[in-house]
Structure 1
Amino acid sequence: MPSTVSPKIPHYEPAPATKESLDYADLTIIDLSKAKTAEGRAELAVQARDAMTNQGFFYVVNHGLTPAENARIFDIADVPFAQVSDDEKRQYAGNIKATGSYQGYKLRQYWHIEAGVRDQLEHYNINRDVTKKPHPKALRPLIPEIEAWARFNHTEVLHPILRLLAMGMELPEDAFVNQHGYDAAGETYVRYMKYYPRSEEEEEKTKNVWLKGHTDFGTITILWSQPVAALQILSPDGKWRWIRHIGNALVINAGDAMEFLSGGFYKATIHRVVQPPSDQRGYTRVGAFYFAMTDDNVKLIPHAESPVFRTHPIKRRCDDADAPTMEQWRRGRTSAYGQTDLKKTDNGVEEEVINGVVVKHYN
């Protein structure tokens, strides 16, 4: 990541790692430093393919940033929450439902969770083109660092992962990369997020679920690992398992758009956020993410030319003629999330229809 002059900001001290014995998911660890050679990419492509087709999540290590640079990321991530007043946050709140965009703040209690309980998390979202929207005063000196971090995520993490996933489908290495231009029109964004502790009454009403089981709507989500245990994935055996924190590692998962593009070969992964274990419940949980999407004009249809479909049938969620563009899909998903009445099915899964496609929520 390019070096910049770093303005002084308060240090965010994360919670100590939990000492509780949790049922952790057994995830593949991808050493991204190996992706610099053709031989290394060939080896990693098999690991990434198997991880994405079996679990849908994997870790990335040796991505190029140091632990000190990682700590700086989380110092910056806390600024839009700890250093900005509630009045100023409201001035920069996104008009999410109307615009289908998360740019700006999503304030606390915007989403309905369950039984009348609303969320206790806020996040601040910045398009990779950091000039698209003005930013709160405390963040302005940090924008060059944020832009450098966005570019690092895009070119040094996202693109190498997309090459591995393309190779896993026996496609040209840049098949997915060419659909994810850094300077193209699109909504790929940095997200800083902060969860706050909830009341016992809220925990009881929601059965300790902070964010229902869902899939992300983009292609790839890059989560910078942090120590508060709360993220769980729905494992292939139907059990919810915790994601373990690994220092200076990334947690990678696929979203809806990757499922569309891969013809279901890589399935969007169901995950949720729950109350942390008892030894971490008094702490806030700060997160740093990079949510990747294709260019807005990409139509979300499978790469049917992939040789893997000779043995794996293409699984479409809609006919190709009816497939949404990335812009249509992310606007529809963004506008609806946490704002619509969901239809409950017999197995307890809740459903809604967006752009003619059934979207499921799991609790």
Structure 2
Amino acid sequence: MSFAVPVVDVSAYVRDGSPGERAAVAAALDEACRTVGFIQVVGHGVPAAVADGLAGAMDAFFAQPLEVKNAWRTPPEVNRGYSPPKSESLSLSLGVEAATRMNDFFEAFNVGASQASYPHAPGLPQPDYAENTWPDVAGFRPAVEAWSAEAGRVARTLTRVFADALGLAPDFFARITDHSLDVLRMNNYALPEGTVRLDGDLTGMGEHTDYGIVTVLWADQVAGLQVLGTDGGWHDVVPADGALLVNLGDVTARLTNERWMSTLHRVKPPIIDGTIQRRRSAAFFHDGDVEAVVAPLPECLAPGEEPRYLPVTIGEHIAAKLRGSRAGVVNTAADREAARVLAARR
């Protein structure tokens, strides 16, 4: 069976199309979420200039010497700032012990929604809503903030489609994303010579599922991203021209009782003539309110079907995942996801 990531045009929701047009989009997205969990989203309305600005900002930051970038590191519990190569193991967010032997070699810079982003909701817990640390790179902050605003708009557009596709109240996702734990993670896979050893089994970013509701990904059209298909094999995925790659996170899988898939994915480094080919990506994670409680929704349970998950707050769930990826503490609450990783490895 061939593997393909479905293309879904969401312009009917961006321009407030007719009920029939929106219903067709919702049906197409429901099919994609049931069968693949990754979508090539077009018709999103993000200006090309904003994407170009993001790419330029990333290039300017990551081109700096490592000792300069390290000045923008934060403690593991603060999901902001710079992460140098081999400082994280994404597979540990799923509780896979073997990942401790192979830290991921990507470098990243994170920004996210802070208390200042939500003045209407005072007293948000820290460090969940930590203030950002902005590097002293000309034009970096305005370019990144412009992209974050567009990616956030796309994410919220998609959750409107989600609600229609699942037969939920139109404002269902709005009620759990009033002060969403949103994070933009900018990744770079072009590392200086000698940083890693080309031993034939490098991991740019280990197998993992995303943590929240939905991820909106900008990426170079360079090979590396791989998605685990229902056939148990890993498949290469490259964004189509003008498309944003979108995938579901664990919160949505929990809400739908796995009617929709939080798909395992990883990055295997593209190596050409013994050199790692440069690859960049920027993932906008739309995760939901820290105190929102998520559990399988009655609308997503078939008659007689049992919930696969116990209720948990979004904050508790994401904290466990981050303790795995950033602090190296195995996530023991991810048994279902870990089983899928181990089955794929076999």
2:301 corresponds to 1:309: yes
- Assess if the C-alpha contact under 8 Å between 2:33 and 2:261 holds in 1: yes
What SS does structure 1 have at the residue aligned with 2:199?
helix
Structure 2 match to 1:12: none
CA distances 1:126-158 after superposition (whole Å, capped 9, x unpaired): 01349622311116x432332232222122x11
Structure 1 match to 2:23: 42
- Assess if the C-alpha contact under 8 Å between 2:269 and 2:277 holds in 1: no
Structure 1 match to 2:228: 234
Q: Which runs of 4+ in 1 moved over 6 A?
A: 198-201
Q: Distance in 2 between matches of 1:170 and 1:314?
A: 19
Correspondence for 1:67 among 42, 48, 65: 48
Structure 1 match to 2:319: 331
Q: Post-superposition shift, 1:79?
A: 2.6
Q: Post-superposition shift, 1:338?
A: 6.2
What SS does structure 2 have at the residue aligned with 1:138?
coil
Structure 2 match to 1:353: 332
2:87 corresponds to 1:88: no
CA distances 1:8-51 after superposition (whole Å, capped 9, x unpaired): xxxxxxxxxxxxxxx98411111121222232221110111110
Using structure 2 for the length normalisation, give the TM-score: 0.81
Q: Quick one: which amino acid aligns to residue 9 of structure 2?
A: D
Structure 1 match to 2:168: 171
Tell me, which stretches of 5 or more residues in structure 2 are unaligned? 92-98, 117-130
- Assess if the C-alpha contact under 8 Å between 1:228 and 1:280 holds in 2: no
What SS does structure 2 have at the residue aligned with 1:288?
strand
Q: Post-superposition shift, 1:275?
A: 2.5
Q: Distance in 2 between matches of 1:95 and 1:40?
A: 47
Structure 2 match to 1:124: 109
What SS does structure 2 have at the residue aligned with 1:353?
coil
Identity of aligned residues (%): 22
- Assess if the C-alpha contact under 8 Å between 1:258 and 1:268 holds in 2: yes
What SS does structure 1 have at the residue aligned with 2:260?
coil
Structure 2 match to 1:7: none
Q: Distance in 1 between matches of 2:282 and 2:304?
A: 35
Within-5 A mapping of 1:1-363: 25-35=3-13, 36-37=16-17, 38-82=19-63, 84-96=64-76, 99=77, 101-112=78-89, 116-129=101-114, 132-138=131-137, 141-155=139-153, 157-181=154-178, 184=179, 186-196=180-190, 202-204=197-199, 207-276=201-270, 278=272, 281-304=275-298, 306=299, 308-310=300-302, 313-317=305-309, 319=310, 323-337=311-325, 339-340=327-328, 352-354=331-333, 359-360=337-338, 361-362=341-342, 363=345
Q: Quick one: which amino acid aligns to residue 205 of structure 2?
A: L
CA distances 1:239-279 after superposition (whole Å, capped 9, x unpaired): 11110231221001111111112222212111111122647
Using structure 1 for the length normalisation, give the TM-score: 0.77
Q: Quick one: which amino acid aligns to residue 34 of structure 2?
A: T
Q: Aligned Cα RMSD in Å? A: 2.9
